[in-house]
Chain A
Amino acid sequence: MTGFDRSIGRLLIVVTYIAALLLLVGVLLMLASGISPLSGGPALDVSAITSDLASLQPAGFLWLGLLAVIATPITRVVAAAVAFARAGEPRMVLVAVAILAVIAISITTAALTG
């Protein structure tokens, strides 16, 4: 097997720990402000994340953490695509691009029907 498995593996771990940290801060802020998990949280509003972070609102940290979690495997595919391109394996690059295309389609269709 090739050497880039190691660095891709490390990337996965590091990004997940960052996401976990963000979620942890969010959960601690929830506890601090006495928000019940079943009280119904706000839906995703990308434009609100920055202001929520600045004002220490739990939702900002939670959403950023959740988005980071979802982005982790996607980042891994991008990293693998780059690594395969450098290693001169066009077929694997094609596979990686196809995976990203499927994700893009799933985001677009959900956005259109949601």
Chain B
Amino acid sequence: MIAGGLTAGVFGSLLGLGGGVLIVPLLTLVFGLDLREAVGVSLVSVIMTSSVAAGVYLERHVADLRLGMRLELFTAIGALIGGSIAFLIEERLLALLFAGLLLYVAISMLRSRASEETQPETPPGEAPSYEVRNLPLGVVGATGAGVLSALLGVGGGIVKVPLMHLGMGVPLRVSTATSNLMVGITAAASAVIYVIHGEVDPYVAGPTAIGVFLGASIGSRVAHRIDLRILRFLFVAVLLYTAVQMLLKVAS
């Protein structure tokens, strides 16, 4: 279980994901946990990695604290809604939603690979100045991301990053950093609901969270030494395989 969390953590940090998309299938398909229990554990792990990453981004002034806090008010509201309805809807529907999310992530990863080859890398250093536009769109999108996060135990970066970057005119690096910041409070708002409902098992959450935490630290250190294209291809394959497994589970 520690090893599984470790793998999810390494993958997640290398690809800029919280790791939730890997933790939930790992716990349900490999360890046979109830989907809701897996989501609760995943939320805790996601908070941990996002807190450290957000801390580093804040120190380096890449994350936009003001924008992040304004949007996370709405992701938190979304999380409250999602966390509450998660206990009302059927587990098979949740699994179906999760499979849909996996497919969406896989497709958007394939597409981002295609666009990255044509675009030059953004130079490192201080974030460029920018004007935030389209705040109403951000509000709606953030609420949706919050619901998704709470229902499925993911950080929702895959929704929030394009939302801020493409929809609101925020630079990609700032979007990623700010998304990371928001994940913490979003997941915390729904994690408390899962804890109070008794869906978080400390014996599962402890080893998983430690694994993810260590994995994320390793991942961020070796990131520059790894060919991301191969990694991304592997990851897409894993996502597709997991989506099929989830669908089979729904069907049975």
Contact = CB atoms under 8 A, between A and B. Distances in A.
B52 A16 contact: yes
Interface in A31-70: 35-44, 58-59, 62-63, 65-66, 69-70
A36 B1 CA distance: 10
B59 interface: yes
Interface string A69-109: 11111101100100000000000100110110011011101
Interface string B56-100: 111111011110011011001101100110010000000000000
Contacts of A26: 202, 206
Interface residues of A, number: 59
B65 A8 contact: yes
Main secondary structure on A side of the interface with B: helix
Nearest to A94: B73
A37 B210 contact: no
Given A62-B203, A110-B197, A13 B44 contact: no
B241 interface: no
A35 B77 CA distance: 37
B23 interface: no
Contacts of B14: none
B51 interface: yes
Interface in B192-238: 192-193, 195-198, 200-207, 209-210, 213
A2 to B, nearest CB: 8
A75 to B, nearest CB: 10
Nearest to B65: A5
Contacts of A103: 76, 185, 188-189, 192
B198 A98 contact: no
B17 interface: no
A30 B72 contact: no
A107 B196 contact: yes
B192 A9 contact: no
Contacts of B21: none
B10 interface: no
Contacts of B204: 37-38, 41
10 contacts: A10-B59, A23-B206, A27-B207, A41-B204, A58-B203, A69-B47, A70-B44, A73-B47, A73-B187, A74-B185
Given A62-B202, A73-B47, 10 more contacts: A1-B65, A5-B61, A9-B59, A10-B59, A12-B184, A27-B206, A37-B204, A44-B200, A44-B202, A70-B191
